[in-house]
Amino acid sequence: MRDGDHQGHGSPPTPDGGIWSPSRRPLTVGLILTVTLVALEALAVATVMPEVRADLGGYDLYGWVFSGFFLASIVGIVVGGPAADRRGLVVPFTAGLVLFAAGLAVAGLAPSMEVLVLGRILQGLGAGAVPAASYAAIARGFEASERPHMFALLSTAWVVPGLVGPAAAAAVEHALSWRWVFLGLLPVVAVAGALTVGPLARVPSPIGSGADLPDAGGSRSGFGRSARMTGLVGGVGAVFVALTGVPGPLALVLVGIGLPLAVWAFAGMVPDGTLRLAPGVPATVAVRGLLTWSFFQADAYVSLAVVDGRGSSTFVAGAALSAGSVLWAAGSWVQARQIDRLGPRTLVGAGFTVIISALALTTGVALGLPVPVLVAAWGIGGFGMGLAYSPLSVVVLGSARPGEEGASSAALQLSDVLGIAVGTGVGGGVVALADTRGWEVSSGVAVVFTMATVVGLVGLAASRRIPASLNPR
């Protein structure tokens, strides 16, 4: 994901300063390339999914292509964060890239939507482990004063993929096949790994990291973490299955079991007080989930709204996704310059307000406004995400104790990815239900966008519970 940081405990022992200094340049380049890889994949898949659906099947598994990826990412995050604290950064990062590459191959060769979802699950496992290791690398490998700029730079790494990725994906799909949108990224994975593993191995491990640190969920044996991770993924998955059109009694059973299980699991894997929006870090972690739920519930279905809903082309859908990505980076640079003066609460509240406005316009396009309005609307939404997303990481990572940067980033990313998984999963359930009821696609996605707007309003209210200012330690 695209992110930012500011304060933290301690500083790495490299005194020459600057993210482009000789000692830090290889790590900076490697992390940028990794983000570029993730950006290319995310934007490309979102662009071509209507064509994939037309080739492999109907709308019933459309949402699972996204939510399956992000549910699997939860597993990668929960395993990868503590692994970065205990085993160093190279192990989770390398394992993540290998799984991501395997998922690309499976998805690119998929003969059915079911196999495509399997490939996306493999990708998600890898995509969860890689950011957890990368966040810990930034916490350990850069001075506290450099981190906002490093994360803003990573957001900027979405600019080139944002400009060319969706258009390139549409062009590849038209000229060759959507399959090459997946398969064509395999060489990029190899290059990213070759350039990044060496610099990660040279990032110093903090004193005090190791086996004495508790796992997520408070278990030192790892059993508690594994049990809660299983409960979270299984519980959320059960709720998603209930939304796919199963018989009513079975749907009630799945929700009745899955929802409490997921809530129990999530509560034990994040800071105490997260569910009740306790002021400070707990509320910040919760708000991150509401933010990603709101934005990505709509983002995943922008292309569907344009292509299947309004009969336009994947190139127009790609333009909307490109606008959102590029302006996200712009918003991230604004927050990096203004966070000391305005504080995280103001920036996050402003970001939510901008996103809500963009979602209202997006809903209007689904209901009949000119399609080009969506390009401008999603650019506005991306700018709001740039303002709101990074300050939340500033608060959480700045509170991490030495040696626990991976665990802190894992909690933040868990909420982050769970928000995306829930948003895309609920959106997929709405789209599938609309299809079974004979609704127009445009009507189904309008409901999805409206739900995202409501979640955005909840997030705006909750943002009043996060810190108003940064408190340097």
pLDDT band at 337 (very low <50, low <70, confident <90, very high): confident
Q: What are the distances in angstroms from CA 73 to CA 29, 44, 170, 407, 445? A: 24, 18, 26, 15, 25
Is there a contact between 255 and 289 (Cβ–Cβ < 8 Å)?
no
**pLDDT at 131 (0 to 100):** 73
**pLDDT at 237 (0 to 100):** 85
With the C-alpha atoms ordered 147, 166, 349, 444, is the resulting torsion angle positive or negative? negative
Separation between Cα atoms, residue 180 and residue 206, nearest integer Å: 42
**pLDDT at 95 (0 to 100):** 87
pLDDT in tens, 132-167: 777 777 777 776 667 667 766 776 666 677 667 777
Residue 282, amino acid? P
**pLDDT at 291 (0 to 100):** 95
- Contacting residues for 192 by C-beta, under 8 A, at least 6 apart: 30, 33, 34, 36, 37, 97
pLDDT in tens, 440-468: 888 999 999 999 999 999 999 999 998 88
pTM: 0.76
Higher-pLDDT residue of 319 and 362 is 362
> Over the chain, what is the mean pLDDT?
80
pLDDT in tens, 271-321: 888 899 888 888 888 999 999 999 999 988 998 888 888 888 888 888 888
Separation between Cα atoms, residue 270 and residue 134, nearest integer Å: 19
**pLDDT at 48 (0 to 100):** 86
Q: How many CA atoms lie within 13 A of 234 on its CB side?
A: 12
E-strand ranges in 273-348 read: none
pLDDT band at 353 (very low <50, low <70, confident <90, very high): very high
Separation between Cα atoms, residue 142 and residue 139, nearest integer Å: 6
Residue 326 dihedral angles phi and psi, to the nearest 5°: -65, -45
Whether residue 25 has pLDDT greater than 50: yes
Separation between Cα atoms, residue 56 and residue 175, nearest integer Å: 18
- Contacting residues for 381 by C-beta, under 8 A, at least 6 apart: 295, 298, 299, 324, 354, 355, 358, 359, 362
Here the tokens at position 177 are 């096949």
Is there a contact between 302 and 317 (Cβ–Cβ < 8 Å)?
yes
Tell how far CA 316 is from the center of its chain: 23
Is there a contact between 165 and 338 (Cβ–Cβ < 8 Å)?
no
Whether residue 12 has pLDDT greater than 50: no
Is there a contact between 138 and 6 (Cβ–Cβ < 8 Å)?
no
Separation between Cα atoms, residue 282 and residue 184, nearest integer Å: 40
The Cβ of residue 126 has, within 10 Å, a number of other Cβ atoms equal to 26
Average pLDDT for 237-257: 82
3-state secondary structure of 329: helix
CATH of domain 25-216+269-465: 1.20.1250.20
Domain boundaries, the chain: 25-216+269-465, 218-268
Least confident segment among 373-377, 393-397, 433-437: 393-397
**pLDDT at 228 (0 to 100):** 83
Residue 449, amino acid? F
Whether residue 15 has pLDDT greater than 60: no
Separation between Cα atoms, residue 98 and residue 189, nearest integer Å: 8
The length of the chain is 473
Closest CA to 289 of 348, 230, 202: 348
Separation between Cα atoms, residue 472 and residue 467, nearest integer Å: 13
According to DSSP H, which parts of 87-108 are helical? 90-108
Is there a contact between 424 and 432 (Cβ–Cβ < 8 Å)?
no
- Which residue in the block uniquely carries the two structure tokens 């350990």? 140
Separation between Cα atoms, residue 387 and residue 214, nearest integer Å: 33
Is there a contact between 300 and 47 (Cβ–Cβ < 8 Å)?
no
How would you label 328-353 residue by residue, b for 16+ Cβ within 10 Å and e otherwise? bbbbbbbbbeebeebbbbbbbbbbbb
According to DSSP H, which parts of 5-61 are helical? 25-56
Here the tokens at position 213 are 């640190």
Please classify residue 251 by burial: count the beta carbons closer than 10 Å to its beta carbon, then call 0-12 exposed, 13-18 middle and 19+ buried: middle
Whether residue 106 has pLDDT greater than 80: yes
